[in-house]
Amino acid sequence: MEPMLTATADTRGMAPRARRAPPRRDRRGFAAALRALLCLALCLLVAPGAATAQGDEAGPAPLLDRLTPNRIEVIYPGTTRLEMVEDDGPVAAAAYRGDEMVGYVFSTLDVLRAPGYSSTPFDVVAGVTLEGRITGALVLFHAEPYLLNDAPRTARLVQFLHAMEGGEARLGAETGLPPSFVAGATISARAMRNAVQEGARMVLRYRTEEIVVTEPTIDMINFKPRSPEELVADGGLVNAQITNRALQAAMRKAGLGDLLPEVPMTGGPDETYVDFVAGYANPPMIGRNGTGLEPYDTLINGMPEGTMGIFVATLGGVYDHRGTRFNNLSNDFRFDRVSITQGPRSYSFAKQDVIFTRGKVADILVLPADSGFDPMKPWRAELHAAALRPDGTRAPFVLASLDYTLPPGYILMPEPEPAPVWLEPWVEGQRDIAILLVALVALTGILALQGPLTRRRRLHRWVRNGFLAFTLVWIGWIASAQLSIVHLVNYLKAPFVDLSLAFYLAEPLIVILSIYTAISLVLLGRGVFCGWLCPFGALQELLAQAARALRLPQWNPSERLQRVLWNGKYLSLAVILVLIVIAPGAAMVAEEVEPFKTAITAKFVRGLPYVIYAVALLLIGLFTERAFCRFLCPLGGALAILDRLHLVDLLKRRPECGNPCHLCERSCPVRAIESSGKIIMAECFQCLDCQVEYYDDRRCPPLAKLRKRKEREQRQPAAAPAQAAKLGGNFA
């Protein structure tokens, strides 16, 4: 066998030895994994009962007992006293300023029991005015994993809730700040915002006379004084100002240009002949402002239900829309100066169809409920006039036509169906989703084309380190998409605590990473996520490479000790799962065994004990690569258990691997290759370093031997002619 080349520090002083791993150790490792798997199954079986037990805990303290004066000032500034509302509606306290009731104060825990990301209901107290505006919100209790013991992120949550002041009490209404403002806890922030908005709406609707609009409806509620000019400006009225010149044009158009108008003109051509307005009278903003209270009340309360009115008025000029003929029996009391058309229907009016207004030339033309008139559709008001023939007879013509459509501001629309809660982060995060999908496609290509890649040692190192840097910086520190045991636990708990599909879909990047990890786990094993997509793992590996470049001493446990240490990740997983069932509060503390929240999500801006712990793990990793991933990570433990399901082994091996060659074993940075040459896929991070050695014909002994043989064969044919020439010279 050719001598083995040793070009890296990891291989110095280690001679190749032919060894076989004792079968007993394989059984021990499998038994440890099996025990962890059984523990996981037991926890899942017990979880429904645990969820029920949690639901049976004593309820929160009474609302007023939770509200100190300082809290009340934040929730509803200016409140002088609170009184609990004694009815069967959602729990709330009436807020007073002096003797005047101004709104309500409520708790999301009392009204909704909305769960946060931890699936434990939080308690946010908030205020809402009688007009439906949020006055303030304050969180009293939560168990959100990415907010606990995190002062900077908690401060951002306080700012986010404070920015809700003045917003609408309607689910989906925009607030002062987006949920992404609380970076790293976006799901929790969004859940609290939605709970405040929905809770406020529930409290108000039960106790006010708010009309619940299920289809477009005429606004018969809102009113404030407005002038005709203001109503014309917003479209509530349409206006025609006819000058003497326009009158003459209308008469010429009707073929009456040689006649005189029935009502003579005064002044010059630009003098106003008539200033006429028309509009739909039923909305109080139009009808009551136009005619005054008494005529409008006659329309609304003095007529059969469903009666509709058309408001018409003359604001100036010598001509008006009334005239006097409606008083004449000879004219059948017809109100013949105004008519209404809508589609094929035409409406004319008599004196009894008009509600007259005293003191001004403004009236309401009445349409019965069965008239077929639809105020939501366009219609036309026509103002008629007449010219006098030489014989004294009248020649009618249309003086003005006004097209009218009731403006949207006078129509109450149903509240828009709020988009699914989970859809909002997907819409907001389209750019990040696209970046992640491109990265996953690239990773898939790397894994699929690992053969050509690993044949080029330098290219492999650049691609590997480049992707690790992307994972750390973008996936971890920028996008905060660190998959952790918290996500796995929440996914496992969700079916047992009545959480909807929205719970699973609330974090787009985590959902995409979870799906990709699940698929890659079944196909290739644990190493795809742990080796390429875990930001904390990437941080450890990049630091370890720097440590080796600085020639820091490296320590790896013996094969026997390593097998014992591997069980640490299964133990940490088991502890967390058991605590979730028997002591959920303690489980949140146990989940801190992962330094992900500190090092990645919070970027080390956290309490000193957490920072010290995370830094200590990273320091250990400088001397033992990925020590946390190998020996302590609970998520890694769960993935290692499920790794046994993987279907495809892409990593190549030769018969010589392990006997007599140990190059790949020694070059594996995490020692996932046994002395027998077998790769333990549950401990492999798919870094592909072993494949680089596998294809290197200057380091891999079988390939090096083959290369040298070929080189000798190539030299031999060239040497033969020279030798023959020498022999021929001797004979001569």
The token duo for 274 is 């008539």
Residue 356 burial (10 A CB sphere; 0-12, 13-18, 19+): middle
Contacts of 410 (CB under 8 A, 6+ apart): 218, 219, 236, 280, 283, 285, 286
- State the helix-helix crossing angle for 485-493 and 508-523, rounded to 10 degrees: 90
Higher pLDDT: 565 or 417? It is: 565
- In this structure, the dihedral spanned by the alpha carbons of residues 618, 620, 624 and 626, taken in order and rounded to 10 degrees, is -30
Whether pTM > 0.75 for this model: the answer is no
Place of tokens 């690569």: 625
Residue 488: count other Cβ atoms within 10 Å of its Cβ.
19
Task: Give the chain's length.
Answer: 732
Residue 687 burial (10 A CB sphere; 0-12, 13-18, 19+): buried
Nearest to 115 by CA among 499, 510, 591, 505: 499
DSSP assignments along 448-465, one per residue: HTHHHHHTSHHHHHHHHH
Structural contact between residues 529 and 535, judged by C-beta atoms closer than 8 angstroms = no
Structural contact between residues 141 and 110, judged by C-beta atoms closer than 8 angstroms = no
Instruction: Report DSSP state, residue 139.
Output: E
* Host H or E run for residue 724: helix 701-731
Q: Is the dihedral of CA 23, 24, 29, 30 positive or negative?
A: positive
Q: What is the mean pLDDT of the chain?
A: 86
Note the pLDDT of residue 55.
38
Distance CA 139, CA 123 (A): 6
Distance CA 432, CA 235 (A): 44
Report the Cα 495 to chain-centroid distance in Å: 21
Instruction: Report DSSP state, residue 212.
Output: -
Q: Residue 29 above 80 pLDDT? A: no
CA distances from 345 to 278, 338, 366, 368, 373 (A): 18, 15, 15, 14, 8
Note the pLDDT of residue 697.
87
Q: Residue 698 above 60 pLDDT? A: yes
Strand partners, 362: 313
Distance CA 651, CA 674 (A): 14
Looking at 151-155, 204-208, 635-639, 722-726, which range is the least confident one?
Answer: 722-726
503-534 pLDDT, tens digit each: 778 889 999 999 999 999 999 999 999 999 99
Distance CA 137, CA 134 (A): 8
Higher pLDDT: 30 or 59? It is: 59
Contacts of 351 (CB under 8 A, 6+ apart): 326, 327, 333, 334, 335
Note the pLDDT of residue 426.
92
76-103 pLDDT, tens digit each: 999 999 999 998 889 999 999 999 999 9
The token duo for 659 is 């006997």
- In this structure, the dihedral spanned by the alpha carbons of residues 671, 675, 677 and 682, taken in order and rounded to 10 degrees, is -40
580-614 pLDDT, tens digit each: 888 888 888 899 999 999 999 889 988 899 999 99
Q: Residue 673 above 90 pLDDT? A: yes
Distance CA 4, CA 664 (A): 12
> What is the DSSP pairing of strand 81-84 with strand 411-412?
unpaired
Place of tokens 């294809």: 695
Distance CA 168, CA 467 (A): 44
Residue 247: count other Cβ atoms within 10 Å of its Cβ.
24
457-483 pLDDT, tens digit each: 999 999 999 999 999 999 999 999 999
Prior bond to 418 cis, omega within 30?
Answer: no
Structural contact between residues 339 and 348, judged by C-beta atoms closer than 8 angstroms = yes
Instruction: Report DSSP state, residue 472.
Output: I
Distance CA 477, CA 144 (A): 20
Nearest to 107 by CA among 72, 77, 145, 131: 72
Note the pLDDT of residue 331.
85
Place of tokens 């077998």: 678
Higher pLDDT: 55 or 313? It is: 313
Distance CA 514, CA 531 (A): 15
* Host H or E run for residue 411: strand 411-412
Distance CA 369, CA 92 (A): 42
Can you tell me whether residue 540 is helix, strand or coil? Answer: helix
CA distances from 676 to 14, 270, 561, 658 (A): 16, 108, 17, 4
171-196 pLDDT, tens digit each: 878 888 989 899 888 889 999 999 99
DSSP assignments along 590-655, one per residue: HGGGS-HIIIIISTT-S-HHHHHHHHHHHHHHHHSTTHHHHHT-HHHHHHHHHGGG-----S---T
113-165 pLDDT, tens digit each: 888 887 788 999 999 999 889 999 999 999 888 888 888 889 999 999 999 99
Note the pLDDT of residue 289.
93
Residue 224 identity (one-letter amino acid): K
Categorize the per-residue pLDDT at 43 as very low, low, confident or very high, splitting at 50, 70 and 90: very low
Q: Is the dihedral of CA 716, 719, 720, 723 positive or negative?
A: negative
